[in-house]
A and B are shown apart, each in its own frame.
Chain A
Amino acid sequence: MSASTQTETETPAILKKVDPAPWEEPPLVLNNRSFGWVTEKICNVVESKTPAWWWWCFITALFVASFTGMGLVYLVSTGVGVWGNNNPVNWGWAIVNFVFWIGIGHAGTLISAVLCLLKQKWRTSINRASEAMTVFAVLCAGIFPLFHVGRVWFAWWLFPLPNANAIWPQFRSPLEWDVFAVSTYATVSILFWYMGMIPDLAVIRDRAKQRWRKIFYGILSMGWRHANNHWRNFEMAYLILAGLSTPLVLSVHTIVSFDFAVANLPGWHTTIFPPYFVAGAIFSGFGMVLTLLLPLRSVFGLHDLITQKHIDNMCKIIIATGSLVGYAYSMEFFIAWYGANSYEGFAFINRAFGNYWWSYWIMISCNVISPQLFWFRKIRENTPLVWIISIFVNIGMWFERFVIANTTLSRDFLPSSWGYYSPSIVDIFTFAGTFGFFSVLFLLFLRFLPLMPMAEVKMVMPQADPHGGKH
């Protein structure tokens, strides 16, 4: 009070203190739902009778997944020549599919780890399904480099294990770094996903009626009993795993980008690759999260838990990362010109106007142009349209890896070694099948595991506040 009188009498040049206008955050769970409602809603997905649509999707997914199975059996029994890889394009679709699937996984870790550290409470209702997506996407990714080695039964030579040849892995190779990065990423993602699920599995265990459920969920939940002492250690462990996963997720795509950037090839040998790959990975991952969650939201009626605010936030992250990726595309061109290296310059002109010009422009239109539509609220609120754009994002990001890998390899330093790469039918079916494989795993996840972290959703509800709103 004395301050205000002082302001008026002695220092009239200073304006009166103005309190900021109160900003009402929209609630994260709509319609003022109770804890019981959340428990029922999420447990019901697992406990109710298997719906008919689930079986149809599951059978279709199994059928599609068999393409990968057949493709790999044919590859192993015949040889890696059944793929379209040639000289000079020795990598072909295998590396494209690998980087594509690994990138998809990154959004799950971003939501569960980075947004946790940043205290973004809206992450709670989408993090479990996104983490599941991460785990399954990494499994799909692993298939390609594993079989690309040719004699897959020797793939264990990649690991530092003693073998009959008495030789060891060569740790100066980026491909060896990949082995460590990707296997660590897969393991830590599974640990994080599983640990977060333990309290929810215990809830399902306590509600279980059938004997097999009691045993199955009983074993998985490790005897969790919701005690405060459990929560205390759990929360600390969760925070630490989030802190560990953040540098991990940034390092994984950085190391994946080293596969390219460490090679002395025009178009690959650039320092922009690590951040550009990480931004692209998050971009594609959020595309996939939207592709998966929007149908789930309407099938299971989760509109009160995955609200428009969630969709808005994800769309905004897509704008941000999509713009970063667009910036990286233009910066690559600028540096190719500014660096005055004729090979580098050619590589980029060739990317946009050379033998694979069509893939470059698919990439630009899907990755740079389509996410800009999310600036408009009308578009963000049109769920079917958001879903369609999210698929464009996925297509665009697959083409980005295709462009990077193939334009450079097919136009080598010497025109005498130039070539053109087209995938074989085996390539196409093996890749298409991974979507089936992914869907099989995701459908099993929906049927048997809690698709949202109940405890975490309850934590962001007003009832969880022990001080009754007076903080």
Chain B
Amino acid sequence: MTKVMDIKYGLSATFNSAKDLFEAAGKVREEGFTNWECYTPMPVHGLDGQMGLPRSKVPCFTLAGGITGFCTGMLIVWYMNAFDYPLIVGGKPYFSPIYPFPVFYELTILFSAFGTLFGMFFLNGLPRHNHPVMEHPKFGKCGDDKYFIVIEVEDPKFDDDETQEFLKGVGGKSIIMIREPID
């Protein structure tokens, strides 16, 4: 067997309740850590504020999608019914923003929805099927009923022993170093 090398990714601490994690997250932020993350089985109310995170940027993608959809809808109707092949139907004008209302209305919603979903994927860096944190031996538990805080080695304030003590101090259980195997 070849010897597998590994690199340290970060220190993980486990919490048993949303309340414990919430309080600990506040202390981690106050301590001045920057490269850290909470892992929770469901969105925890108010945790973004507690971690000092700004509002999500997803709405920008929605808006971009919506504008694209609106313009696409208007443009295809104008191009097809008024420019490329003008046709009088029922004595109505070749182009008007009223009669194709359902067309651009639906396209606005359609493109906004795509913008929202792909914006969420983009901001979350998904799809990404491998990630060092998945090497955590109990990673599956954070989808079930456990809460993790992981402070990365990358963090400027990180120190093997001190950070371990700190995580213990804020109530973290079973603190382990997540190691990412490389070969």
Task: Find out whether the CB atom of B87 lies under 8 angstroms from the CB atom of A465.
Answer: no
- Give every chain B residue within 8 A of A234 (Cβ-Cβ): 43, 120, 124
Extra contacts, 15 of them, besides A171-B99, A187-B110, A244-B112 (Cβ < 8 A), are A160-B80, A168-B80, A168-B85, A184-B107, A219-B129, A223-B131, A228-B38, A228-B47, A228-B53, A233-B123, A234-B43, A241-B116, A241-B117, A454-B42, A466-B50
Q: How far is the CA of A464 from the CA of B40 in the complex (A)?
A: 10
Which residue of the partner chain, among B90, B123, B133, contacts A225 with CB atoms under 8 Å? B133
Residue B43 contacts which of A177, A195, A206, A459 (CB distance < 8 angstroms)?
A459
Chain A positions 230-260 with a Cβ under 8 Å from a chain B Cβ:
230-237, 240-241, 244-245, 247-248, 251, 255, 258
Check B143 against A206 for contact (C-beta < 8 Å).
yes
Closest to A246 in B: B109
Q: Is residue A76 contacting chain B, with contact meaning CB distance below 8 A? A: no
Is A181 a contact of B102 with CB atoms below 8 Å? Answer: yes
User: Is the Cβ of B21 less than 8 Å from the Cβ of A466?
Assistant: yes
- Report the minimal beta-carbon distance from B96 to chain A, rounded to whole angstroms: 9
Q: Determine the chain A residues whose CB is within 8 A of the CB of B103 once the complex forms.
A: 171, 176-177, 180
Given the complex of chains A and B, what is the CA–CA distance between A234 and B125 in angstroms? 12
Complex CA gap A245/B109 in Å reads: 8
> Which residues on the B side are within 8 Å of A454 (C-beta)?
41-42
Q: Which of A32-40, A79-87, A330-338 contacts B (4 or more CB under 8 A)?
A: A32-40
Is the CB of A167 closer than 8 A to any CB of chain B?
A: yes
The reply on A312 being an interface residue by CB < 8 A is no
Report the Cα distance A167→B81, complex, angstroms. Answer: 9
Q: A88 at interface (Cβ–Cβ under 8 A)? A: no
The minimal Cβ–Cβ distance linking A193 to chain B, given in whole angstroms, is: 11
Q: Which 4 A-B pairs have the closest CB atoms?
A: A206-B140, A466-B22, A35-B145, A168-B80
Near A by CB (< 8 A), chain B positions 22-37 give 22, 37
B121 in contact with A222 (CB, 8 Å): yes
- Chain A residues in contact with chain B, CB under 8 A? 34-36, 39, 160, 166-172, 176-177, 180-181, 184, 187-188, 191-192, 195, 199, 202-203, 206-207, 218-219, 222-237, 240-241, 244-245, 247-248, 251, 255, 258, 454-456, 458-459, 463-468
A231/B43 contact (C-beta < 8 A), A191-B117, A244-B112, A251-B102 known: yes
Residues of B within 8 A of A232 (CB): 43, 48, 53, 56
Q: Is there a chain A Cβ closer than 8 Å to B10's Cβ?
A: no
Query: Please, which residue of chain B has its CB at the minimum distance from the CB of A174?
Result: B102
Chain B residues positioned under 8 Å from A206 (CB to CB) = 139-140, 143
Report the Cα distance A35→B147, complex, angstroms.
12
- A247, B39: Cα distance in complex, Å: 34
- Tell me which of B40, B57, B76, B127 contacts A231 (CB under 8 A): B40
In contact, B124 and A229 (Cβ under 8 angstroms) = yes
- Please name the residue on chain A nearest to B66 by beta carbon: A244
Contact among B58, B92, B102 for A240, CB-based, below 8 A: B58
Instruction: Evaluate whether A226 and B120 lie within 8 angstroms (CB atoms) in the complex, with A172-B99, A466-B19 already known.
Output: no
Closest CB in chain A relative to B78 CB, distance in Å: 10
Inter-chain contact B87/A170, CB cutoff 8 Å: yes
Main secondary structure of the interface of A (DSSP, over half): helix
Q: Is B7 an interface residue (CB 8 A)?
A: no
Flag whether B6 is at the interface (Cβ < 8 A). Answer: no
Known contacts A207-B140, A227-B38, A236-B59; is-contact A171 B81 (Cβ 8 Å): yes
Residues of A within 8 A of B48 (CB): 228, 232
* Chain B residues whose CB sits within 8 angstroms of the CB of A36 once the complex forms: 144-145
B5 within 8 A of A: no
- Minimal beta-carbon separation of B109 from chain A (angstroms): 5
Task: Choose from A34, A170, A180, A236 the contact partner of B58 (Cβ within 8 Å).
Answer: A236
Known A-B contacts A170-B89, A171-B100, A181-B106; A223 and B130 likewise in contact (beta carbons under 8 Å):
yes
Shortest CB–CB separation between residue A189 and chain B, in angstroms?
A: 10
In whole Å, how far is B5's beta carbon from the nearest beta carbon of chain A?
A: 23
Contact yes or no, B53 A465, CB < 8 A = no
Q: How far is the CB of A192 from chain B (nearest CB, A)?
A: 7
Q: Closest residue to B39 on the A side, CB-wise? A: A226
A228 vs chain B, min Cβ distance (A):
4
A234 CA / B56 CA spacing, docked (Å): 9
Contact: A225 with B131, CB < 8 Å?
Answer: yes
Known: A39-B145, A180-B102, A184-B106. A240 touches B59 (CB 8 A): yes
Q: Are A233 and B140 in contact (CB under 8 A)?
A: no
Closest-by-CB residue of B relative to A224 is B126
Say if the beta carbon of B156 comes within 8 Å of chain A: no
A222 CB to nearest B CB, Å: 4
Known: A35-B144, A234-B120. A466 touches B109 (CB 8 A): no
Q: In the bound complex, what is the Cα–Cα distance between A258 and B18 (angstroms)?
A: 50
- Given the interface pairs A34-B145, A169-B80, A170-B81, the reply to whether A229 lies near B37 with Cβ below 8 Å is yes
